[in-house]
């Protein structure tokens, strides 16, 4: 039984539907309001298109804002505001539970080419003081990686903290330069910490300690590290 291919869109779509049958229904949002320069990229498209109020965006869409711009999206149950110089995948605007977050974090390792060599993590004890939790590490930049991180921060700010961590982690991989910005790293590590994911947080903190840190930040990280170690020991 063969299906003849007609090299046209209609037939192609049919086959894709056939192949993708059973996929969870896509989350869609309606653009409530747009301010300034807001663009989107759909599916595998290479180009950015301006987003207008009233547009519907599916989860194969990435939205990016320019400086002094913002967009408000409304979904069935949720609402999401993306501030300036930020980018977010619509698919990330979703509530995840802790288990899903852990699965998503594990995927990084699973994705890697086989037989990953275990890296020894340093375990240097450093001391410092705690800083405020609300210190959002927004950097104003047109660099798309930073925009992605800002988007992730926005996700966290809108209550999608788990999703935010996933988005941030993906960004750190795809834009390796962003990994070297301590404020973002600490921000997302703190989310893990606050969620009680101490081991995952500890890995992050230990990694962060290798970065160039201000005394204040180093103290914060060291304090967190110690705290986690105590917690893990007492378990």
Q: Which is nearer to other proteins, 128 or 151 (CB)?
A: 151
Indicate whether 25 belongs to the interface with other proteins (CB under 8 A).
no
Q: Work out which of 106, 133, 194, 216 binds other proteins, going by CB under 8 A.
A: 106
89, burial (CB in 10 Å: exposed 0-12, middle 13-18, buried 19+): buried
Indicate whether 117 belongs to the interface with other proteins (CB under 8 A).
yes
222: nearest Cα among 135, 134, 130, 133: 130
Euclidean distance between CA atoms 55 and 39, whole angstroms: 11
Determine the size of the site formed for other proteins (CB under 8 A): 48
Token pair recorded at residue 232:
């893990």
Q: Which is nearer to other proteins, 133 or 174 (CB)?
A: 174
Q: Which is nearer to other proteins, 6 or 230 (CB)?
A: 6
Q: Which is nearer to other proteins, 43 or 132 (CB)?
A: 43
Whether the CB-CB separation of 181 and 172 falls below 8 Å is answered with: no
Binding mask 120-149 for other proteins (x = CB under 8 A): ------------------------x---x-
Integer distance in angstroms from the first to the last C-alpha of the chain? 60
The half-sphere exposure of 114 on its side-chain side, counting CA atoms within 13 A, is: 0
Indicate whether 98 belongs to the interface with other proteins (CB under 8 A).
no
β-bridge pairing 49-50 and 38-42: antiparallel
Q: Which residues here bind other proteins, judged by CB under 8 A? A: 1-5, 7, 12, 15-16, 19-24, 41, 43-48, 59-60, 62, 89, 91, 100, 103-104, 106-107, 110-117, 119, 144, 148, 173-177
């Amino acid at each position: 039984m063969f299906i003849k291919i007609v090299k046209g869109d209609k037939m192609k779509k049919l086959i894709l539907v056939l192949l993708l049958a059973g996929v969870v229904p896509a989350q869609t949002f309606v653009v409530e309001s747009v301010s300034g320069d807001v663009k989107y990229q759909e599916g595998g498209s290479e180009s950015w298109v301006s987003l207008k109020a009233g547009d519907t965006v599916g989860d194969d869409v990435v939205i990016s804002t320019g400086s002094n711009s913002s967009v408000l999206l409304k979904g069935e149950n949720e609402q999401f505001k993306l501030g300036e110089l930020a980018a977010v995948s619509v698919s990330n605007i979703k509530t995840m539970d802790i288990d899903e977050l852990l699965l998503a974090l594990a995927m990084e390792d699973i994705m890697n080419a086989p037989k990953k060599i275990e890296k020894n993590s340093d375990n240097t004890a450093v001391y410092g003081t705690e800083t405020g939790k609300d210190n959002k590490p927004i950097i104003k930049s047109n660099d798309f990686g930073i925009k992605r991180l800002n988007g992730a921060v926005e996700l966290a700010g809108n209550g999608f903290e788990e999703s935010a961590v996933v988005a941030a982690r993906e960004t750190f991989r795809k834009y390796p330069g962003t990994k070297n910005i301590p404020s973002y790293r600490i921000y997302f590590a703190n989310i893990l910490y606050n969620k009680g994911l101490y081991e995952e947080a500890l890995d992050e903190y230990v990694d962060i300690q290798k970065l160039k840190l201000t005394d204040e930040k180093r103290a914060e990280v060291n304090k967190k590290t110690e705290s986690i170690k105590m917690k893990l020991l007492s378990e």
